[in-house]
Structure 1
Amino acid sequence: MNIYDIVDLILAKLSSNPALDIKLEIDDDIFVRIRNLLSGYKLFPNYEAYNLVKIDKCDDLAQQYREKGNDFFRKRKFFSALCAYNKSICFSKAHSENMGLAFANRSAVFYEIDEPHLCHANITLAKHHKYPSEKLLKLEERDKKCKASNSIKPKTSKLLQLTHKVNPKYPFIINCLSLKLNKEFGRHVVTTNILKAGNVIAIEPHFNGILLSDQVFKRCTNCLGQFNLNLLPCEHCVSAMFCSQHCKDEANKKFHKYECDMNLEGIGKFFTVAVRASMRTFIEALFIFDGIERLKNFLKEHKDIAFTAFDVDKSSSDQTYHQQLFMTLCSLCSNEERRSTVENFRRAIVCVILYEYLILNSSLQNILRSDENGKFFMNFMFKHIQIAESNFHELYSLKAEKMEQSNEQFGVGSFPFASLLNHSCLPNVFRLSSDGLNYVIVARHIEKGEQIFDNYGYHHSIHTLQQRRNGLVDRYQFNCCCDACVNNFPLFEELLEKDKDFDTFISNDLEEFEKFNTEKAERAIKRYSKYIENHDKNIPSYEITLIQECMLRCFRILERSKSMFNLNFIET
C-alpha cells in the first residue's frame, strides 16, 4: 500500500462516523484539524510496519548480497552482479572485511568487462577496507594486468552539444530562445532563429533530482549518474551511494545529512515520487537559505514575484544563483484552484502524515517540532507536491542490462527551462535524459517565431484523442487544442504512407539498431535530420513519425556512450 491508499482508508473510516462533520475546505487551520482527527481516532499509520524506519547496517545481510553477486558473476550476468555487490557494500559495516571483499568482487567484474581503471580503483578500495591479507596475491596479479591494459574510452559525440550560441546568463540553453506571454498560451518559449531537426537547444542540469527506490544501488544519489555502477556507500545508512567523494560531500551538505536518518527505499515505495521530490526541495531550501527562518522570510518577501529560467544569472554568487533556481520552482503553477476540494483535502492529509513521520523518525524534528515551523512545513509541502505533480520531469534511460531498446525510468527532476515548455500531442522537440541532465532536441523544422512544444506523455501516434483528453485533464487540468487534437490525427498504425521510396531509405536500420555504435548512430542522425527537413510538408505521416523515433533511439545510443556505459553489461 502507498500513501494514497492509506489516505483513502482514513477518509472511509472518518466518513463512516455519523457523528463527524468533516470540514474539507483548505483554510488556515486545515493541518491542525487533520492532525487532531488522525491523533484522536488513532489513524496515523504504523511507520515501522510500512518499512519506513531506518535500517541499520548488517554484516550478515552484506554477506548474503555478496554471495548473490557471486552467483550472478559465475553466470556472467555482470550488471546484476554489480548491483548485488553494491548492496553488499551498503550493508557492510564501515571498514569491515565484508566491505573489502565486496570491493574486491567488484574489481573482478570490472576486469572481466575491460574497465582496467575501475578494476584498479576497486582493488585499492579493497586494500583500504580490511581485505584478507592471505588473499592479496590474487588481487595483486589482477592489478598488474590492469596497469598493462591500453583500454581506450570513446569520446563524447559532438551531436550531444548545443548547436547554437549559448545564452550568456543561463548557459544551458541556446541564445535564440525567448520567453513570451499571451492570453492563449500564458508563458511560453519561442525561437528567434530557424531550428532544424536534430538541433540540441538545451542541456540543462536538474535543480532537484531524486532516484526511484529501485535505483539506489545503481546510481549516484547526488548527480543521478550511473558511472558503470562504480559507486561509494554512505558510511551511516544503506539507502544512498555516490559516484565520488565530491558528490558525497555535496549531498551531505545539501540534503543527505537529514535523509540519512530515513529508510529511503521504504519511503520511495510508501510515498509518491512527488512527495519525495517536494521533501527534497524543502531540505535543499534549508541549505540554500541557511535555515528555516531565512527561508520563511525569503518566501514572505518574494511571494508575489514570478521568476523563470530567463531571469536566472549563472554568473551570480553561488548562493544567489541557487536562490534564483529555487524561485523558478516556486513560481511554477500548482493547479490547486483547478483541483476538487476532496483532492486537495487528500493531499493535506499526506502532508500531515509526512510531518508526523519526520518529527518521530528524523533529525528534522529539531527544526519542525514547533507549531509555527510545523505549519510552515506542511503549507510548503502542500504547494510543492502539486508543483511537482504538474511540472517535474520523469527521467529515463535505456534499460541497462537489456539489449532491446526499452526504456527504464530512474528518477524525476525539476528543470527550470524545460518546465516552461507547453504541451502538444504533435511536439516539435523531444527530451532525452542523461544521468541528471535534460537534453531538449528538435524533432522537426521550427520556423523563426514559432513556439517550442514538448510532449507531456500523451502523443497522437500512441494515444487516441479521448485517451489524451482524459489523461491531460486528470494529470494537468487542461484541455489540449493542438493541431493533432483539433484535426484528430490518427494513431501510428493508421498514419498514411506518403513516400514510395521510404523502404529503400530506412533499409535495415530497424533490425540493426542493437548493433549501432557511436559512429553509426551519428551517421544515422544526420541522415534522419535531412529526411525530416526535406519531407516536413508530409507531417503527419507514417514515415516522419517512424524516423523521429529512430532519431531518438540514435541519440540514446550516443547518450549511453557519453555516460561510459559498458556494453558488456548486457545480459542475454
Structure 2
Amino acid sequence: MKSNKIAESFNLKASECLAAGKYTEALENYNQSLRFAVNKSQMLSDAYAGRSKIYYEVNQLENCLKNIKKSLQTCINDEKCRKIESLREKCLDQINLSTSEKKENVTSEFFKLSHPQHKRVPFIAGCLEVRENDVYGRYIATTSDLKPGDIVVIEEPFYKVLDPKRRHTRCAICLKQNMLNLFPCVKCSNAMFCSRVCSESVVHRYECNDSKDDSFDKLLLQRMFYQAIEITGSLEELQKLMNRQTSSKTILDFDFSDPKNSMNDKNRILATTSLAEREPWSAEAYAKYESVTQQLQIETEDERKFLQNYLVRCLKSMTVNFFHFFWSPTKIEGQGLALCSLAAYFAHSCDPNVEKIDVDNKFVFITKKPIKAGEQLFMNYDRFSFLTHTLKDRQDYFNKIYTFQCACNACKDDYPMLNKLPRIDEKFIEPETKFESIAVAKLQYQKNCDYISANMDRYPCYEICLLMIQNYRLLHAIGNKLPF
C-alpha cells in the first residue's frame, strides 16, 4: 500500500546514511521511500532528489541526471526545485569537464566463457554436453580438460523471483540491480523496475498487488505461469505449445544461435518443463496453484484441467530444480529463487569441482579444480560442503530437502572440516581478507588458481581449501561490488 508516511521514514534514514557517507545504504533507503511514496507526490520527488545527490558524489553523472529529471517532474516546492536545478547545472558542468565517466565493466570484461561457445546454446562452453546414467539421470560432463578458473556457463535463469525483503534493491522482472537506479510501480509498493520494458511486462499486471504473505515458492510458481502466458499470448496458445511436446528434451536439443528467433522463449518453456520432477514436500503445496488461477477467466473444463496439470507439473519441477540467488558470500538465506534450463543438470557434491557465482541476474559457473575430459561437473547445493558442515548435518539436510543421500568422495571418506585438514606448505601465507581494488582481487584470484593447480595432487589439504574459500569471496566481489 502506498503511504507517504512510510516513505518519509525511509527518506529520513536515507538522509542519515548519506550524511555518514554510507552511500549503498542510503540508496537502498531512498528506494524504499520510492516504493511507498504516493504517485506524483512531493515525497516521490524528494527520494529521487536524494538519489541524485549520491550519484553526483560517486561520479555516476548519467544516473544523476536521470534522477534529477524524475525529481523535477513531481516537485511542487519552489525552493526544492531550485536546489535540484542547481545540482543539474553542476552535473552538466562536470560532464563537460570529464572525458568519460565510464568505469571498468568487471562483469563483461572478467566473466566471459573461457572456451569457444556452444554452437546452439551461446551461454555455455562448447565442450560441455548433457549425458545420462542410472545414478544421476541427466548430468553435465566436459569433452575437454578444464583448469581452475575456467568459466563454462553464464546462464540467466529463465524463471526468477526476488525475495520480498529485497524488493527495493533489484528489478522485479529481470532482477538486475542497475546500480540501484530503479523506479517504483505507480500502483503497488511491491515492485521496482530497471526499465520501461520491465515496467510494462504483462507478468507484473498479474502480480501487481500489495500482498505480503506470498511464500518464495508460490511467487516462483506464479512467475512460471504468468511468464508462459506472456510469451505465448494466451492460455489456449500455451496449451497448443505443450501439446506439441512429444518427448522430453534438454536445452541442448534446441537452437538458440539466433537471438532474434521468435521461438527462443517458447523453446525455453519446453526445455524447462522437461526437467526432472519430484513430489513436493507436503500435500498442502498443491493448494498453491489454486490462487494462481484466480485472476484468469477459465472458460472451459478442458482449459481448467490443462491449467491444473500444467501448474502441478511446474510445482514438481520447481521442487527439485530450484536455485537460490546469493548476492552476498556471507548471507545464509537466499535472496532470490530461480529455475534454469541448463544449470539444473549440475549434480551435487559436498566437494564440488565447479562454483556457482551469482553476478547480477545471472549464474556463472567456474571450475574450482582441474577437471579431465570425460569427467562429470559437480556443484554444491545450498552451500552445504564438507568444509562448513559435518557429514551427519549434510546427509540429514539433503535427505530432507532433496530426498537423496550424497555419495561424493567427501561423504564416502568423511573428509575433515577446514581447520582439521592436513597442512602441506610451511611457507604458505594465509590470504588477506580485504583488498584495495577489483584489479587487486583479480590478480589474487589468478594467483590462487595457479597455486591450486600446482598442488592438486595433495588435495584435500588446508591450504588449497582455504584458497578456494577466498576465491568464492573474490569472485563475488568482482561481480557484485558497487563502485561506491
Common topology (TM > 0.5): yes
Unaligned 5+ runs, structure 1: 1-54, 400-404, 568-572
100, 103, 106: which one aligns with 1:153:
103
Unaligned 5+ runs, structure 2: none
Give the Cα separation in 1 of the matches to 2:323 and 2:380. Answer: 11
In structure 2, relative to structure 1, the CA distance for the partners of 1:308 and 1:421 (3 Å cut) is same
Give 1:387 deviation, angstroms. Answer: 1.8
Give the Cα separation in 2 of the matches to 1:164 and 1:131. Answer: 56
Alignment coverage as a number of residue pairs: 476
- Which residue pairs with 1:298 in the alignment? 241
Moved more, 87-96 or 368-377: 368-377
422, 426, 432: which one aligns with 1:510:
432
- Which residue pairs with 1:101 in the alignment? 46
Is 1:140 the counterpart of 2:85? The answer is yes
Give 1:298 deviation, angstroms. Answer: 2.7
Larger radius of gyration: 1
408, 418, 430: which one aligns with 2:343:
418
- Which residue pairs with 2:249 in the alignment? 307
Q: TM-score of the superposition, structure 2-length normalised? A: 0.92
CA contact (8 A) 1:307 1:324 kept: no
Local SS of the residue matching 1:166: coil
- Which residue pairs with 1:46 in the alignment? none
Moved more, 208-217 or 104-113: 104-113
Match runs of 1:72-91 below 5 Å = 72-91=17-36
- Which residue pairs with 1:383 in the alignment? 313
Local SS of the residue matching 2:472: helix
Is 1:259 the counterpart of 2:259? The answer is no
Give the Cα separation in 1 of the matches to 2:12 and 2:171. Answer: 23
| Per-residue Cα deviation, 1:321-365 (whole angstroms, up to 9, x for no partner) | 1111111211112222xx7xxx5522223434x35xx52xxxx24
Give the Cα separation in 2 of the matches to 1:320 and 1:206. Answer: 17
The letter for the 1-side match of 2:176 is G
CA contact (8 A) 1:162 1:173 kept: yes
Is 1:179 the counterpart of 2:127? The answer is no
In structure 2, relative to structure 1, the CA distance for the partners of 1:377 and 1:537 (3 Å cut) is same
- Which residue pairs with 2:63 in the alignment? 118
Give 1:517 deviation, angstroms. Answer: 1.2
CA contact (8 A) 1:398 1:408 kept: no
Match runs of 1:211-360 below 5 Å = 211-249=162-200, 252-253=201-202, 255-260=203-208, 262-264=209-211, 266=212, 270-302=213-245, 304-315=246-257, 318-336=261-279, 343-352=281-290, 354-355=291-292, 359=294
In structure 2, relative to structure 1, the CA distance for the partners of 1:130 and 1:373 (3 Å cut) is farther
Give 1:216 deviation, angstroms. Answer: 0.8
In structure 2, relative to structure 1, the CA distance for the partners of 1:71 and 1:368 (3 Å cut) is farther
453, 459, 484: which one aligns with 1:533:
453
Local SS of the residue matching 1:510: coil
Give the Cα separation in 2 of the matches to 1:63 and 1:541. Answer: 53
CA contact (8 A) 2:158 2:338 kept: yes
Q: TM-score of the superposition, structure 1-length normalised? A: 0.78
Local SS of the residue matching 1:202: strand
- Which residue pairs with 1:13 in the alignment? none
3, 8, 11: which one aligns with 1:63:
8
Give the Cα separation in 2 of the matches to 1:63 and 1:194. Answer: 57
Identity within the alignment, %:
26
CA contact (8 A) 1:415 1:438 kept: no
- Which residue pairs with 1:521 in the alignment? 441
Give 1:73 deviation, angstroms. Answer: 3.0
CA contact (8 A) 1:209 1:411 kept: yes
Bigger RCO of structures 1 and 2 (CA < 8 A, at least 6 apart): 1
Give the Cα separation in 2 of the matches to 1:534 and 1:65. Answer: 52
Give the Cα separation in 1 of the matches to 2:265 and 2:474. Answer: 34
Cα-Cα RMSD:
2.2
Give 1:131 deviation, angstroms. Answer: 4.4
